[in-house]
Amino acid sequence: MTDVPRSQLATWEHCLLGSAAEATTDAVVVTTAELNAPGPEIIYVNPAFCSMTGYSRDELVGQSIRMLYDQKPDPAFFQDLRKTIQSGRSYRGATLKHHKDGTPYLCEVSITPVHDKVADCMRLVSIQRRVEDAWGQDRYLETVFHAAPVGLILVRGDGRIDRVNETAEELFGYSAGELVGREVELLVPDEARAHHRDYRTAYSHQPRARQMGAGRDLEGQRKDGSRFPVEIGLAPLETVERAAVLVSVIDIAERKRQEAEIEFLAFNDPLTGLANRRLCMDRITEAIEGLTDSGQFGALVVIDPDRFQALNDTRGHSRGDQLLCDMAGRLTAFAGPGRLVARVGADEFAVLLDDLGQASDAIRYAERFAQQARDILGAPYSWKQGGYYATVSSGITLLHPEDDTVEDALKRVDLALQDAKREGRNRISVFDPVLQRSAEERARIEHQMPAALANEEFVPYYQPCVDAAGRCVGAEALIRWQHPTHGLISPGSFIPVAEESGLIHAIGESMLRQVCEQVARWALDESLSRLEVSVNVSPKQFRDPDFVHSVKSILDETRVNPHQLCLEVTESLLFDDADEAIARIAALRRMGISFALDDFGTGYSSMAYLKRLPLDLLKIDQSFVREMPADSDATAIVETIIALADNLGLTCIAEGVETEEAWRFLREAECQRFQGYLFSPAIPAEQFERQVAR
């Protein structure tokens, strides 16, 4: 762009040529000679040009001339202009510009190069043409009209079509001959024609109006009767003979499609098509407000497929997506029309049930709904890649007509869902205030555990393991939390939290190291040197890829005899990858560590895996031991487990021995080792040492 000081350019209006421009009725604009982007800069405009464009002089001077075009100008126009100016000749042509208020208008442009002491400039004289006078007389104006990328329709004041361009013919499917002379309402649906006649009536009384309805979204109708969305611009034109309107028509079907897609994605899940969390929260808020007026209760049910991550890991995310889509379809069909079904998480669905009556009725209805949904979603899924069976867990909370918010409702239903998962999956849990208190307690414990780990507050206690003669032959190390203010905390209060938070890895490693250090010290004492000590290993800790390496490092650091160490595992660690688990057990046994299967008899697959596991000991769960010999079923189970261990060459240990009668029965059944309160609870290491010495 020409670098000309604005103070010098301003002298234009004071020179002889500028004085003439101020007085003429032709619209005059002076620009720099630069034709490349961003285009010529406006130096001067006369009052007539301001009147024609609707802009003030201050708004125009210093700006690019391209601001007067609604869209990018025709490249051919500037190409022809550049060639003409470079040759030193003047230019005369026609173009389509837009008024400040958006009204398009056709104008004839005369451009003359100017060379003076101030700058090399272009003098542009824009003359707004009377459209009907120009048709057929100015080839440039005719070219602009017919080459326009939007549909243009010239409509006379009586509402009849006078002229259409090719784009309009393509849009509506009519030829120009079929349209000229007919009412413009032909191009709109029947129900919209009265609206268009209102436009025509309004215009007939306002012939000098600058603009009417520009940018208005309406509906057009093609010759074949099909409809499509259009954006209509109306530019009133005052001609010599009569009033006319230049109608611009743009097909906005694609824009409407994109807008609809954006709006859909704002409130719907793109995978399942269900309402998303945002829309669900809005609807819950509306439901709560409605319940406040009616005094009734509603309910929110959240449904989550069990072991969904395992499906993704083993069969791929595409199968996981397929399950979610199939579940969404089943759940929507079951819920029925008008009932909100939403996807509120990666694998969670929510169903809003409102106006269910009083609290007791609402709970019964919601539980029945959840039970039926569980059956429907649990039916087999037939896929080309193989069938699949799924179970779901559900959480339910009431929606209260008073003192309730959407955040409260979602928090309560999440707690109920978590409770259903903890209870073993494929369950339904209704929110209870106890769950809230429990969640708050878990949050408090989780917050304190990192500091407790750093301060070595997690310590092992030892419960003696005796033989049939009552001699101590070993011990089980059981973790305790020595809290500085709350005292001794049992593992049942914090181990589940450690599992959920992931701290179980660090806590388990700390426990194993402390036990190995203790066993290494006991090895120096003759009375304690032959004791075998067992340590419980969390399934999550055991599945850690570095677990075997971590155990070996601890053995090397503490120099403990691995033959005095036993790791206790439960069969749950076999569910995800039994072969990997068996390989790890075998690797650790090769180091000299023995393995015990804890809580035997309480799982679903003990018998199936028992013959494959490289085990040394089998522990009878205390729930059976405590009920025998009074309970005949428990007694029969215990006798079977003892016989099974004997046949497999495994040492059998009975936990939970609390009475002399139980101990006597177990010895008669030829159980080999025993643990329980009859002999001693779990006690600190120093107390254990004194007890063994006695």
pLDDT digits (tens, 9 = 90+) for 198-237: 555 544 444 433 344 445 678 889 999 999 998 888 777 6
Residue 277 falls inside a structural domain: yes
Residue 1 falls inside a structural domain: no
- Give the pLDDT score at 113: 74
Q: How confident is the model at residue 93 (pLDDT cuts 50, 70, 90)?
A: low
Place of tokens 């033959």: 563
| Residue 540 and residue 409 share a domain | no
C-alpha distance from residue 172 to each of 119, 157, 223, 253 (Å): 50, 21, 6, 13
| Residue 185 and residue 74 share a domain | no
| Residue 171 and residue 44 share a domain | no
Looking at residue 592, which CATH number applies to its domain? 3.20.20.450
Q: How far apart are CA 595 and CA 139, in angstroms?
A: 98
- Give the pLDDT score at 211: 40
109 near 81, Cβ under 8 Å?
no
Grouping H, G, I as helix, E, B as strand and the rest as coil, residue 491 is helix
Q: What H or E segment, with its residue span, contains residue 7?
A: helix 6-9
Q: How far apart are CA 658 and CA 584, in angstroms?
A: 35
Domain carrying residue 413: 268-431
DSSP letter for 72, please: P
- Give the pLDDT score at 428: 94
Per the rule left: phi > 0, alpha: psi between -120 and 50, beta: everything else, 508 is alpha
- Give the pLDDT score at 169: 93
Looking at residue 159, which CATH number applies to its domain? 3.30.450.20
Query: Nearest CA to 415 among 391, 397, 403?
Result: 397
Residue 492 falls inside a structural domain: no
| Residue 419 and residue 321 share a domain | yes
**Pick the residue with more confidence: 534 or 111?**
534
Q: How confident is the model at residue 105 (pLDDT cuts 50, 70, 90)?
A: low
Query: Nearest CA to 396 among 352, 357, 426, 334?
Result: 352
Query: Nearest CA to 506 among 453, 575, 570, 563?
Result: 453
Tell me, rounded to whole angstroms, the distance of Cα 226 from its chain centroid: 38
- Give the pLDDT score at 563: 94
Q: Best-predicted range by mean pLDDT among 129-143, 392-406, 552-566?
A: 552-566
| Residue 219 and residue 154 share a domain | yes
pLDDT at 632 over 80: yes
Looking at residue 272, which CATH number applies to its domain? 3.30.70.270
| Residue 535 and residue 417 share a domain | no
pLDDT at 679 over 70: yes
| Residue 37 and residue 117 share a domain | yes
Q: How confident is the model at residue 493 (pLDDT cuts 50, 70, 90)?
A: confident
467 near 487, Cβ under 8 Å?
no
Q: How confident is the model at residue 332 (pLDDT cuts 50, 70, 90)?
A: very high
Q: Best-predicted range by mean pLDDT among 129-143, 285-299, 364-378?
A: 364-378
Q: What's the total number of domains in the chain? A: 4
- Give the pLDDT score at 368: 95
| Residue 187 and residue 97 share a domain | no
Residue 688 falls inside a structural domain: no
Average pLDDT over residues 306-324: 87
| Residue 252 and residue 106 share a domain | no
Q: How confident is the model at residue 340 (pLDDT cuts 50, 70, 90)?
A: very high
Residue 659 falls inside a structural domain: yes
Query: Nearest CA to 595 among 607, 612, 608?
Result: 612
Domain boundary among 404, 431, 458: 431
- Give the pLDDT score at 12: 53
Peptide bond into 38 cis (omega under 30): yes
Question: 140 Cβ partners below 8 Å, 6+ apart?
Answer: 92, 93, 94, 108
Domain boundary among 431, 447, 462: 431
Average pLDDT over residues 46-67: 86
Q: How far apart are CA 99 and CA 463, in angstroms?
A: 92
**Pick the residue with more confidence: 494 or 575?**
494
Least confident of 92-101, 258-267, 481-490, 607-616: 92-101
Place of tokens 């604009």: 29
- Give the pLDDT score at 205: 43
Q: What stretches of 544-670 show up as alpha helix (H) in DSSP?
A: 547-558, 578-590, 606-610, 622-625, 632-648, 660-668
Query: Nearest CA to 656 among 627, 691, 685, 689?
Result: 627
% of the chain with per-residue pLDDT over 90: 39
Residue 529 falls inside a structural domain: yes
Q: How far apart are CA 570 and CA 536, in angstroms?
A: 9
Average pLDDT over residues 355-376: 90
- Give the pLDDT score at 133: 43
**Pick the residue with more confidence: 408 or 92?**
408
Q: Where are the beta strands (DSSP E) in 297-432?
A: 298-305, 341-343, 349-353, 392-399, 428-430
pLDDT at 271 over 80: yes
Residue 690 falls inside a structural domain: no
Domain boundary among 98, 128, 158: 128
| Residue 564 and residue 544 share a domain | yes
Residue 408 falls inside a structural domain: yes
| Residue 198 and residue 120 share a domain | no
Q: How confident is the model at residue 32 (pLDDT cuts 50, 70, 90)?
A: confident
pLDDT at 171 over 50: yes
Mean pLDDT of the chain: 82
Peptide bond into 629 cis (omega under 30): yes
Q: How far apart are CA 625 and CA 635, in angstroms?
A: 8
- Give the pLDDT score at 168: 92
Paired strand residues for 652: 618
| Residue 325 and residue 425 share a domain | yes
342 near 274, Cβ under 8 Å?
yes
Condensed to tens digits (0 to 9), the pLDDT of residues 519-570 reads 999 999 888 989 999 999 998 899 888 999 999 999 999 999 999 999 999 8
pLDDT at 634 over 60: yes
pLDDT at 403 over 70: no
